[in-house]
Amino acid sequence: MQDAKNYYKNNDEITTPTSHREGESEPSEDDPKPPMRQTPMTFDLDMDKNENSVPVQIEDDEEDTQKQNHAAEFLKYHHKFNHCSPAKIQAMAKKGELPKYLATCDVPVCSACQFGKATRRPWRTKNKKNGRKAKTATRPGQVVSVDMMEAGIPGLIPQTSGFLTKERYRVATVYVDQYSNFSYVHFQKSTSVEDTLVGKEAFERLAATYGIQVQHCHADNGTFAAKGWIDACHRKKQSISFAGVNAHHQNGRAEARIKHIQDMAHTSLIHATKRWPEAINAHLWPFAVRMANLSINATPWLADLKKRSPEEMFSGSKVDNNPKHWHHFGCPVFVLDKNMQQGRRPAGGK
């Protein structure tokens, strides 16, 4: 449990959803210390700045302390699907993929989401200059947005055999289909055109397995404006367009997806580190990013009226989402040893 007031002291621009619970006692003037709350409370960083106010306490092991009810089961699926939006859990419950009662039960508070998804409050807003709507894609592969995100911490490269490598991932390129909102993440060691083209070909091979051919790429400048990238698009008979200089909002689909993936990966790392600090560290961010992307593709897209998942819309077919196949990021996994399966004793008698 952590004192949120001290953690975010003098930072009024960070905010998260707030609520007020009944039945909680307020401190009296004679109490030397404010009483600790007996029930979890949601994040409230707009609390009274009075010195006598009760500090907000964040329950960071809520799955162990709360009552075993429908809300606890809701939280379990929330963790399984990598801290996805509660609205997605409710949508899956309405579709029958999860128990029906999760669609109407109380939504619990996730402490990892309170920390990992906190954002700055906008200090100004701007009216739209015109009411024109952007052209929308009508089929998968018609328009694909591309953008890069660079990590300040080198990420581990997964290995199953051989000598351990000292190379690390430092870049991730995100491809987003504008029709289905389906995304693909390719990890790279650098921002070079050669590494980026490897990711482009990997995404095109993935799309080909669904019978889809990429027709147009929309990207920022930089690596994507290099001659090698443009020539590769022309060889595949793909058109290409670019956002304006310092106009990242013109590539908003890719920018929004990167933010979504970063928030989910950040949250899952916080959640796992708190529960298994000996094994989890920030260098595992490629694994967290990959799982975040898998969760986004497999869970309902809330903008779709039928609440289909991006993978369903991209493939054009029904995709069954079995919750038994999902485990929250960072949980221990056990593999059955071949000798034990055959009834033999392990080496060394252990």
Beta bridge partners of 3: 57
Query: Which is nearest to 109 in space by CA: 73, 45, 59, 44?
Result: 59
Mean pLDDT value across residues 4-18: 42
**The amino acid at 87:** A
Give ∠ CA 17-45-329 in degrees, rounded to 5: 60
pLDDT of 47 higher than 70: no
Query: 313-327, pLDDT tens digit by residue?
Result: 999 999 988 899 999
DSSP state of 133: P
DSSP state of 312: H
Lowest mean pLDDT among 45-54, 127-136, 294-303: 45-54
> Locate tokens 């162990």: which residue?
64
8 A C-beta contact, residue 178 and residue 282: no
pLDDT of 66 higher than 70: no
pLDDT of 169 higher than 70: yes
8 A C-beta contact, residue 150 and residue 170: yes
Percent of the chain's residues with pLDDT above 90: 55
What pLDDT is attached to residue 320? 86
Query: Which is nearest to 176 in space by CA: 239, 136, 218, 135?
Result: 218
Name the segment(s) of the chain with CATH classification 3.30.420.10: 138-350
Is pTM beyond 0.75? Reply is: yes
The number of beta carbons lying within 10 Å of the beta carbon of residue 294 is 16
Q: Count Cα neighbours of 306 within 13 Å in the Cβ-side half-sphere.
A: 7
pLDDT of 7 higher than 50: no
**Helix H or strand E encompassing 315:** helix 310-315
8 A C-beta contact, residue 196 and residue 233: no
CATH topology of domain 138-350: Nucleotidyltransferase; domain 5 (3.30.420)
Query: 83-131, pLDDT tens digit by residue?
Result: 999 999 999 999 999 999 999 999 998 989 988 998 888 888 877 666 6
Q: Which two tokens stand for residue 76?
A: 């379990």
Computed over every residue of the chain, the mean pLDDT equals: 82
More confident residue, 244 or 221: 221
pLDDT of 211 higher than 60: yes
**CA separation for the pair 42, 39 (Å, rounded):** 10
Residues 6+ apart with CB under 8 A from 89: 74, 77, 78, 81, 98, 102
Beta bridge partners of 95: none
What pLDDT is attached to residue 64? 65
For the four alpha carbons of 57, 68, 71 and 258, in that order, the dihedral sign comes to positive
What pLDDT is attached to residue 231? 95
pLDDT band at 136 (very low <50, low <70, confident <90, very high): confident
Residues 6+ apart with CB under 8 A from 37: 24, 54, 57
More confident residue, 153 or 43: 153
Lowest mean pLDDT among 11-15, 176-180, 240-244: 11-15
**Crossing angle (nearest 10°) for helices 285-298 and 252-275:** 120
Query: Which is nearest to 3 in space by CA: 68, 53, 74, 75?
Result: 53
Mean pLDDT value across residues 155-175: 91
